[in-house]
Chain A
Amino acid sequence: MASAPENEKNASAPEKKTLTLKSMINNEEFVVDEHVALQSVTIKNMVDSDCAGDVIPVPTISGEILALVIEYCKNHANPSASEDDLKKADAGIVAKDIYTLIDLVLAANFLDIKGLLEVTSQKIADSIKDLPHQDVREIFGVENDYTPEEEAAVRAEHDWAFEGFP
């Protein structure tokens, strides 16, 4: 039983085109089926315009992040995956610390993968939504450019809005 589909797979294997994505950060290479890689609009445009060589160099994205991106693309290239399966798989991919998520969202943006950009943005939003503003500043490295008076005014507005409610 198990050997039949195996044979089939082998038989069709030569026709399956693959692409090699190479992280220019740590030179890690990933061999992926073309239809998986084509979920990236950026790569698709390269392939369509015949600009893609055997190895596609991907600058600014580390191997670790590229692996996540490819995992996402593989999941979403699988036509038999149910919506539920995909949701679970997506949740697994973005179950990372905020710094990894920032790298991931940059990669999704660079490679132009809309779905990944969305789930990663949502995850970042979810991870900061309950944090005090000081923590948000620190995590993102945002400089506080308020004058003390300005900050007090914004804080007063916030406190007035929420004080005294259970």
Chain B
Amino acid sequence: MSGTKAAQSEYNEVSLGETCKRQRMTSICYEENLRLIPRLPDEISIQIFARLPRVCYLNMRLVARNWKAVMMNPELFNLRKELGMTEEWLYLLTKFEDDKLFWLALDPRSKIWQRLPPIPNVVYEEESRKGVYGLLMRNMVGQSNNLTNIIMGWLWRKHALGQLPFGGCAIGTADGCLYVLGGFSKASAMRCVWRYDPIANVWSEVTPMTTGRAYCKTSILNNKLYVVGGVSRAHGGLAPLQSAEVFDPCTGTWSQVPSMTFSKAQVLPAAFLADMLNPIATGMTSYKGRLYVPQSLYSWPFFVDVGGEIYDPETNSWDEMPIGMGEGWPTKQAGTKLSVVVDGELYALDPSSSPNSGKIKVYDEKEDAWKVAIEKVPITDFFGADVCNNMDSFTSSSSESMEESAAVVWKVIAETNLGHAELVSCQVLNI
């Protein structure tokens, strides 16, 4: 009965009746001007705000300063969680012909699309980031001065439409935020990590990875963001990375994870092959409390699957993946292995060579085999071309829920004509 005290005081007011009311009115007269809604206590106003669809918030920010402050306050989103008002949105990273990267968000309920602000184009050299300048920049961005961000955004739009950094970046989600990790910039693999906070609608830079990585794999496990592998620039070529590290969004720090052993790659039949072929992680999925990393050997552009390894956070060590799992893991293209866990089951999309005949497979742990879960996946034009995007196909391949597929019901969640666009990543945030 935590409310007893408050109720008690209210009761006093009841019995005191009019006198008290008048007193109250005068005492809050000044405060009323500062209230979110003058006639209501802020507590109730916030209850109302929490019940608004999330898509309204950008508009409601325009009402007044304190409205904007509340709409950007994590407390409001905690209340949404308490009230069960959270909404799952789909976030798509798309790449246009000219290598422009665009983030889009889709509210599946209202079918409203929202464009995310671009990642501020502050490309500075790796070295300078270690210095004071880097710190300053980070602080500036971290304070999420909106005006600064918008201006940066406009500048980016007008002057930097060409090559964007972050080609080959990895995309993950943690703690209700999107993360863009590493990638190439001016041909060097970057350590930088950008975080998009949907509450503030801004990008900010967080602690960089200890190693510059492009095309690394990322996944969330126990609320921590793991990255494994990828490539870095070395000796004029691309060097694959076996190392791994983990980001804790609560502390904002990176810690080392033991490197993958690639034990399979060690037992190649001929030594010369080992020189030519590089081991690389081709996917990563958090499944049953461990990280499953399928691996390949590659000599660009050829990939040879060599099973994979499993990271167990409890023992902090890598172990070999069951043979059937590694060998049967469906491959998307160029050795990329996408998968998703829905209701504890591991699914992967097997796109096959001809359009409209993709399958969804599910991993059977007992038999150590991948089995067809859904025969026909209506993927229209999965790769590029004139995409009138069927978002479902994206959902199935790269993220979220195949809740729909569980009922073998496919529906087009939403369509939009993005012109010539390629889907780079697709994530779901529930806030």
Interface residues of A (CB under 8 A from B): 24, 41-42, 45-46, 49, 51, 56-60, 102, 105-106, 109-110, 112, 117-118, 121-122, 124-126, 128-130, 132-133, 136-137, 140-146, 150-151, 153-158, 160-166
Contacts and interface: CB of A to CB of B under 8 A. Distances in A.
Main secondary structure of the interface of A (DSSP, over half): helix
Contact of A102 (B39, B51, B116): B39
Contacts of A105: 40, 44, 48
Contacts of B58: 157-158, 161-162
Contact of A142 (B67, B150, B153): B67
A129 B17 CA distance: 36
Interface string B5-21: 00110110111011011
Given A121-B47, A136-B60, A59 B112 contact: no
B128 interface: no
B416 interface: yes
B14 A153 contact: no
Given A109-B41, A117-B44, A157-B117, A41 B3 contact: yes
Max chain A Cβ within 10 angstroms of own Cβ: one of B11, B40, B113: B11
Interface in B1-57: 3-4, 7-8, 10-11, 13-15, 17-18, 20-21, 33, 36-41, 43-44, 47-49, 51-53, 56
| 5 A-B pairs closest in CB distance | A125-B51, A133-B62, A165-B113, A140-B37, A121-B47
Given A42-B10, A51-B15, A142 B37 contact: yes
B411 interface: no
Contact of B39 (A141, A158, A163): A141
Contacts of B53: 129
Contact of B20 (A41, A58, A59, A136): A59
Of B33, B40, B416, the most chain A CB neighbours within 10 A belong to B40
Given A51-B15, A105-B40, A144 B64 contact: yes
B11 A45 contact: yes
Given A42-B11, A142-B36, A160-B115, A121 B63 contact: no
Contacts of B147: 150, 153
Nearest to B153: A160
A140 B38 contact: yes
Contact of A144 (B48, B59, B63): B63
B201 A157 contact: yes
A102 B153 CA distance: 39
Which of A46, A59, A102, A156 counts the most B-chain CB atoms under 10 A from its CB? A59
Contact of A165 (B20, B40, B112, B154): B112
